[in-house]
Amino acid sequence: MMFWAAAATVAMLVGAPAAPGLPPVPDVPVLPVLPAVPVSAAQDDRIGRIALSADGNQHDEDDWASSAMTLAILASAGLQQNVVNYIYNNHIWDSDAEHRRNMTESVLGAGERFGFDTSRFYDGADPAGLAAGVAALTAEINASTPGDELTIVLAGPMETTWMALDAADPTARKHVKCVSHGDGSFNQTHGQKDHGGHSYDDVIELGCQRVQIPDQNGNLGPTKLSDWGYLRDLGPEMDWLHSRLELAEKGDVSDAGMAYFVITGEKRVSRSELRKFLTTPRRT
């Protein structure tokens, strides 16, 4: 029996108490107001609307760094307004309290520092946040047309995206690109295999476009932290980003390769190419 039926789940979760076994919403310190990163006043229509998803609240410590790097990459391209939805902590079945706290600090910390509208960010480990995030993503899917497509970057289990697509207008789904990396990876199959949920193939079967790029671990996976030392010289926001890499310890930002792909079309960015991208002033 499948774990979720999307429409019923959204209705049930609004106002529901925390699910058994899930920790309460973590206390996240109020972040200081830091020098602003350049933010475009409007969406860049050449790229289109972007939705993000990631877990980090269970299993994937590297997401504490990858999530922040993803937002740094998008901000470096001036795409803050293009990000219309971010469901983080989206391992919805259970959470590790420390993992969830670290991931929340990475996502909200990067969102604040790099100039994103964090009212569009939703904690998938919180029932109310999950319901609101899925409902908002469904609305973005329903707004998709041939001239206004939505790209969903899948950096965690597939369940929240499947829920939103399942609840959406079937005619709008074909105008949604679902980006994943690797072939048969843990995130692509974990929800189905271990929790009775859904896989990447299940997501594609709902009618969105399959956009599957090579596994990014070979180019942006684990490495020594000194490879990211240059970030500390790029200002307080990037110095903070380096601290998230230190916390995750592995130097792994592999999931962020999908954001770079969405912007550039490059399917296997190297660390040296990413360094050039992050250190070159953006042309407006």
Task: List, in sequence order, the alpha helices (H) in the chain.
Answer: 6-13, 63-76, 97-113, 127-142, 159-167, 170-173, 186-195, 200-205, 217-220, 236-248, 256-264, 271-279
Instruction: Give the model's pLDDT for residue 195.
Output: 73
The ranges of the chain with pLDDT < 50 are 1-36, 283-284
Per-residue pLDDT of 117-154, as tens digits, reads 999 999 999 999 999 999 999 999 999 999 999 999 99
- For residue range 29-61, what is the model confidence (pLDDT) as tens digits? 333 333 335 555 578 888 999 999 999 888 878
Q: At what angle do helices 63-76 and 97-113 cross, to 10 degrees?
A: 10
pTM of the model: 0.84
pLDDT at residue 9, as a whole number: 41
